[in-house]
Structure 1
Amino acid sequence: MLMAEHYHVGLLVLAASLGNILGACVNWFLGRFIAQFEGRRWFPVTRKQVAKAEGWYRRYGRWTLLLSWGPIIGEPLTIVAGVLREPFPVFLALLTVAKTARYVAVAAVTLGWM
């Protein structure tokens, strides 16, 4: 947030959020179309791992996408949402809330608002 001295904080939050949202959308599209390659030797996960992720996502539902802002679990969540064909408008809405809230919180903490 050192840039906040030279740029409007809202624009910085918007730019960071948009970049993160676009990256997650790429993950959703990869998840949507990568399942056709399952079973190939180079495929990065086993069927058992895919089934476990699917079960977890089905159990806790689309609301888990609100955790997509977090490290480690955020990227796999967006891919699994694509694999399980989460409707893109719902995916995008939940993702926008999560990713934007993340950067608003970062800005608030960095600037001493909290």
Structure 2
Amino acid sequence: MEAWIAHAVQQLLVWMALPEIGLPAVFFIAFVSATLLPLGSEPAVFGLIKLNPELFWPAILVATVGNTLGGAVSWWMGWGAEKLYEKTTHHSPEHRVLGWLRRFGARACLLSWLPVVGDPLCAVAGWLRLPFWPCVAYMALGKFGRYVVMTSTLLWVF
């Protein structure tokens, strides 16, 4: 059984190493991981780059685009959730964290790269109806920086 699992993992890595499959897989994984689903995209990016070092910048850019688009989907989910909440309760919530986010505005989305709080932050930005395009721009900057730093560090360590 262990040999079969090892072989299956090896075949999956070979399949993901193919540039024509690896980059779309990285995009998909990065997109899904930026929604509220608990999934990390860094191992996929690192694995592809480790197997294909020449794909460093394409993989970073594809992961950034996928993760940013996933953050944009989270923003829209937050926007829709806020509209539904106000429609059903007939009032808007006021919390300390929401006040903090309002004060920082779209710039708060620069922190969307943080683990655990980053993805919900995008949804809360939509909930607060922070301007969409500035939020997306700040998301992209934060996510791009995370991928460059994390992937470079992992390549240096391993």
Give the TM-score category using the shorter length: 0.7 to 0.9
Shift in Å, 1:61 = 3.1
Task: Specify the alignment match of 1:44 in structure 2.
Answer: none
- One-letter identity of the residue aligned with 2:84: F
The alignment's TM-score, normalised by the length of structure 2, stands at 0.59
- Residues 1-114 of structure 1: pairs in structure 2 closer than 5 A: 1-4=46-49, 5-6=51-52, 7-38=54-85, 51-112=95-156
Q: Which has the higher contact order (CA 8 A, sep 6+)?
A: 1
Shift in Å, 1:71 = 0.9
Q: Summarize deviations over 1:39-80 as a string: whole Å, max 9, x none.
A: 759xxxxx76x6333212123333221111011111121111
Matched residues, number: 107
Higher helix share: 2
The alignment's TM-score, normalised by the length of structure 1, stands at 0.79
Look at both structures and tell me which one has the larger radius of gyration over its CA atoms: 2
Shift in Å, 1:35 = 1.3
For the 8 Å contact 1:53–1:80, the answer to whether it is kept is no
**Structure 1 residues not aligned, in runs of 5+:** 42-46
- One-letter identity of the residue aligned with 2:153: V
Tell me, in whole angstroms, the C-alpha distance in 2 between the residues paired with 1:30 and 1:88. Answer: 12
Say if 1:61 and 1:87 are closer, same or farther in 2 by CA, change over 3 A: closer
